[in-house]
Amino acid sequence: MRPDARAWFELRTTVARTPDALDLDALLAAKRRGQHRVSVVLPARDEEPTVGGLVADLHESWVAGTPLVDELLVVDSDSTDGTAAAARAAGADVVAAADVLPGHGTRPGKGEALWKSLAATTGDLVVFLDADLLGDVRHFVPGLLAPLLTDPQVDYVKGCYTRPLEVDGSWAPAGGGRVTELTARPLLNALWPELAGFVQPLGGEYAGRRSALEQVPFVSGYGVEVGLLVDLLRLSGLAGLAQVDLGVRRHTSQGQEALGRMAGQVVSTVLARAGTGSEAGGLLTQFRQDGGGFVPVSTPVAVDERPPMVTVPEYVALLTDQVVG
Ligand SMILES: O=c1ccn([C@@H]2O[C@H](COP(=O)(O)OP(=O)(O)O)[C@@H](O)[C@H]2O)c(=O)[nH]1
Ligand SMILES: O=C(O)[C@@H](COP(=O)(O)O)O[C@H]1O[C@H](CO)[C@@H](O)[C@H](O)[C@H]1O
């Protein structure tokens, strides 16, 4: 690791593997002192099996219990199952991504849901969690908030963790983060070696100051994490970024073909941010076997992104009308 990445890793990595690893009273005091408002956002597409339990845990601990969270929002991202009902029943506010900033139309993708969440929340601190997390992850919220509540220089905090992988119904202790290990990490190390200290650059759990998040574009699909990391590096500098060790993260994972498409979106975003201009066709062709031979299947993976929210008049109007941030 380059000296600057090593120094960052030593300085900006903290640990919060369990709830008692954190001084919740001190965090609440820092929240009050800083007059912060905290929004937690879960982007969810077809997560009915997991979203209810996750929302119930978060609501019980941090909304109804310790008042760390002021807003718990599930952004329903074109779900076809009972995600919205399950989330609402468990105590979350729920909004359909398509219903937010309707004048800007709708686009598919996780990043679209996250971009829209900025216009559907009011916290000056925003925490993002995937909606397919398994197990007890309540401590992820205070863990991600701690650096933002205690260090004004930090604008953005990524969670890091070991990532077990479910294979044929049983859990291997490691192996998760396949796109991270096989695509994102090699590319980031090659192009932005100062980011080499990030253990989970694609991790879906992170938190940021609205004042930073609203200044950067949001890639509409799965390129959103790598896009945010590079854009926030440029906006806030390495010193403005941090990571927190949250222990273990398990989630419902996808198959290789789906992750191949995810990797294609990550690669397109990296190439766009690196300014290589090699958009080419923006298509990824994969191959299926149909018994008689190989069948090519092509998927668009070109970068599609939304502009910084501060450039959206309806959002600016919201900021002036509401006590946002
Ligand atoms: O179009 C999409 C795709 C994904 N997601 C959500 O984004 C998170 C991460 O997506 P996924 O689980 O598909 O990615 P993985 O964790 O397998 O890398 C999950 O909460 C998804 O429900 C979303 O809101 N819209
Ligand atoms: O880190 C990764 O390699 C991928 C896939 O993880 P798994 O191999 O399914 O554990 O998961 C992440 O990447 C996505 C793209 O950035 C994020 O949107 C997901 O939240 C995150 O789980």
Give the closest residue (by CA) to ligand 1 atom 1: 109
ipTM exceeding the 0.95 mark: yes
Ligand nearest to the CA of 221: 1
Closest CA to 324 of 309, 303, 308: 309
Domain limits for position 248: 3-324
- pLDDT tens digits, 202-217: 999 999 999 999 999 9
How many folded domains does the chain comprise? 1
Structure-derived torsion over alpha carbons of residues 22, 26, 30, 33, reported in degrees to the nearest 10: 170
How far apart, in whole angstroms, are the C-alpha atoms of residue 144 and residue 17?
Answer: 11
254 CA closest ligand 2 atom index: 9
Ligand 2 pocket residue status of 77, Cβ below 6 Å: no
How far apart, in whole angstroms, are the C-alpha atoms of residue 78 and residue 313?
Answer: 25
Ligand 1 pocket residue status of 221, Cβ below 6 Å: no
How far is ligand 2, taken at its centre, from the CA of residue 66, in Å?
A: 30
Q: What is the pLDDT of residue 276?
A: 80
pLDDT mean over 250-269: 96
Whether the pLDDT of residue 323 is over 60: the answer is no
130 CA closest ligand 1 atom index: 20
pTM of this structure:
0.97
Give the closest residue (by CA) to ligand 2 atom 13: 202
| CATH code for the domain of 204 | 3.90.550.10
204 CA closest ligand 1 atom index: 9
How far apart, in whole angstroms, are the C-alpha atoms of residue 223 and residue 201?
Answer: 11
Residue 325: which pLDDT band, with cuts at 50, 70 and 90? very low
Give the closest residue (by CA) to ligand 1 atom 13: 254
- pLDDT tens digits, 53-91: 999 999 999 999 999 999 999 999 999 999 999 999 999
Give the closest residue (by CA) to ligand 1 atom 8: 130
